[in-house]
Chains A and B, each alone.
Chain A
Amino acid sequence: MKIDEKVVSYLESSNSPVDKEGYLYKKGDIRPSYHKRWFVLKGNLLFYKDHPDDRDLIGVIVLEGCTVQLCESEEQFAFSLVWSEPGLRPYKFAAEDQASQESWIKALLSANHGYLSLLVMDLEKKYKETLAALFSDPANGAAAAPNVGRELSPHLPTLTRHPAGALAAGPSASFIPTLQTPAVPLKSTVKRSPKLWPKRTANVTPISGPAPPAGDWSAVCSGTREEFSKLHADFGKEVKDLIADWSRSGRAGPVAFQENLIDLSSFE
Chain B
Amino acid sequence: MRFNEKEMVHLSRQPSEMVAELGMRGPKKGDVVKRRLVKLVVNFLFYFKTDEEEPVGALLLEQCRVEKEDNLTFSVAFLEDAERKYLFECDSEEQCEKWIDSIIKASYEFMRRNLIFYRTEIHRLTGKDPLEQYGISDEARFQVTNGLQHSSRDASSM
Closest CB in chain B relative to A189 CB, distance in Å: 18
Asked if A202 and B17 sit within 8 Å, CB to CB, the answer is yes
Q: Does A219 contact B (CB under 8 A)?
A: no
Contact of A57 with B by CB under 8 A: yes
B111 touches A120 (CB 8 A): yes
Measured between alpha carbons, how far is A9 from B79 in the docked complex, in Å? Answer: 11
- CB nearest to B41 among chain A residues: A203
Q: Is A185 an interface residue (CB 8 A)?
A: no
Q: How far is the CB of B5 from chain A (nearest CB, A)?
A: 6
With A4-B59, A19-B151 known to touch, is A116 a contact of B67 (CB < 8 Å)? no
Bound together, the chains give a CA A134 to CA B141 distance in angstroms of 29
A23:B154 contact, CB within 8 angstroms = yes
Expressed in whole angstroms, the minimum distance between the Cβ of B108 and any Cβ of chain A is 4
The one of B6, B18, B56, B115 in contact with A2, judged by C-beta atoms closer than 8 angstroms, is B56
Distance A130 CA – B140 CA, assembled complex (angstroms): 25
**Contact partners of B78 in chain A: CB under 8 A:** 4, 7, 10
Which residue on A lies nearest to B11, using beta carbons?
A64
Interface membership of chain A positions 31-60, coded 1 if the CB is closer than 8 angstroms to chain B and 0 otherwise: 000000010000111000000100011111
Known: A19-B140, A144-B125, A159-B67. Is A204-B18 also a contact (CB below 8 A)?
Answer: yes
A127 pairs with B17, CB closer than 8 A = no
Q: Which of A68-76, A241-249, A250-258, A259-267 contacts B (4 or more CB under 8 A)?
A: A259-267
Query: Are B112 and A205 in contact, with the CB atoms below 8 A?
Result: no
Q: Is B68 an interface residue (CB 8 A)?
A: yes
Contacts of A197 in B (CB 8 A): 14
Give the A-B pair count, Cβ closer than 8 A: 272
The reply to whether A21 and B154 form a contact with Cβ atoms under 8 Å apart is: yes
**Quick check: B9 and A203 within 8 Å, CB to CB?**
no
- Contact of B109 (CB < 8 Å), options: A16, A38, A104: A16
Q: Does A187 touch B at the CB level, under 8 Å?
A: no
Q: Is the CB of A62 within 8 A of B108?
A: no
Q: Name A130-180 residues within 8 Å CB distance of B.
A: 130-131, 134, 143-144, 146-147, 152-163, 166-167, 173, 175, 180
Nearest-CB distance from A139 to chain B (Å)? 14
Give the docked Cα–Cα distance between A95 and B150 (Å). Answer: 20
Query: What chain A residues lie within 8 Å of B156 (beta carbons)?
Result: 22-23, 95-97, 99-100
B4 CB contacts on chain A under 8 angstroms: 60-62, 91
Footprint of A on B, CB under 8 Å? 1-11, 14-18, 40-44, 54-60, 62-63, 65-69, 78-79, 84, 97, 100-102, 104-122, 124-126, 130, 132-136, 139-141, 144, 146-147, 150-151, 153-157
5 closest A-B pairs (Cβ-Cβ)?
A22-B154, A59-B2, A2-B57, A96-B156, A43-B108
With A8-B3, A104-B154, A110-B141 known, 12 other A-B pairs at CB within 8 A are A11-B63, A17-B141, A17-B147, A44-B43, A61-B7, A117-B111, A120-B118, A160-B67, A184-B14, A197-B14, A264-B135, A266-B133
Mind listing 26 A-B residue pairs with CB under 8 Å? A1-B9, A3-B3, A3-B57, A7-B84, A18-B151, A56-B1, A59-B3, A62-B8, A64-B11, A87-B6, A97-B156, A116-B111, A119-B115, A120-B114, A127-B121, A130-B126, A152-B117, A154-B110, A157-B65, A163-B97, A166-B101, A167-B101, A167-B104, A201-B17, A203-B17, A203-B102
